[in-house]
Chain A
């Protein structure tokens, strides 16, 4: 755990003292990504750099796993903390392998182990070691350099990682790819990460917790969903913007919102059975039709069941859009709009029906203050 207590930095400038960070206090639990978010000049970078002492704090302290870093030797401290700067900072005079090997070599690892580690890390970000080890940074694309910057910080397997807008310099499409890749890596590595960003969507996507900074102060520190649902003040509220509710949709998964335990009919059920079930549940719209593998194949409309006779298999509409359990609500809403429907069947990895999701269900979910404020 990283514990930051009353961390303060006052820069003495010719125009007088500038308080870049003002009594920042926060804990980052092990294995979590904490995003430092806020407008330009609010002290995010300053706070981050006080953790590895690139900037000496004016007062306050930082402890990592209950060890106060104040008295620690800075080079030892820094070798135990991965650091990714915004400009990537690969050394152009070194090959990719040498770049990745900087910290292991400073730590005195032997050649073989260092080399194996470099290979392993390159594999992890899908860069072919045999092609990339010997190249120079100038021979890589921006996205590839960014990846190398990240794995270089991971080389000696430090428990803590500091990242200052690590994906800031890449185009949005590549950025999303790298973000996903990074989250996948993190789910295995469980590093404790402090991550500076000024991109709200990135913060919501990547952060287990978000710390909102304003003018050197920590305004609110919460889980993303809580921040969006319960902004502490007008600043946080306006910072996340008018479309806060839509942003929250990114955070919610289908599995959390869908109605499971839904009634279904099969091809050889009678339409009267469908009507019965709908009456039972008070469905005004339709009921799901599944095949022998419990996969949704269509829906029987209430109006059909009321007016026709026969088997469900003869009177159904096929489904052309399905929601998956791990889709976020934004994607689902978009599916609903594009297929002009207010209802979607939700399926698991094997395509079996797991539940259904309606537009009403989504709005109810977003409207509810479902978590008590702390």
Chain B
């Protein structure tokens, strides 16, 4: 699971009102290189919740993102490269996602989060 996906996931348990962002429990992180695409990053910047990304990246061991970011930074290659790495190249391979309200854990195995709910959670 890449951090872009983490940025799009919320806890969907019945009764939870603010299920975003999910906490991350790290067992294993892997890195996969992907092509650098500034246009894509500029496009995604508007869609991403920045603080959630910064915190998630830090949990995954990457602390190179600025706490705050604005559109002007998209001009900087250095910024885009960090954003690229955090958003697309870090993968949570093993671990869990944690509902911020209930603490319920959603396991991540082989890079795939399991967000299935039990009957009493739907």
- Chain A bound to chain B: no
Which B residues are closer than 8 A to A by beta carbons?
Answer: none
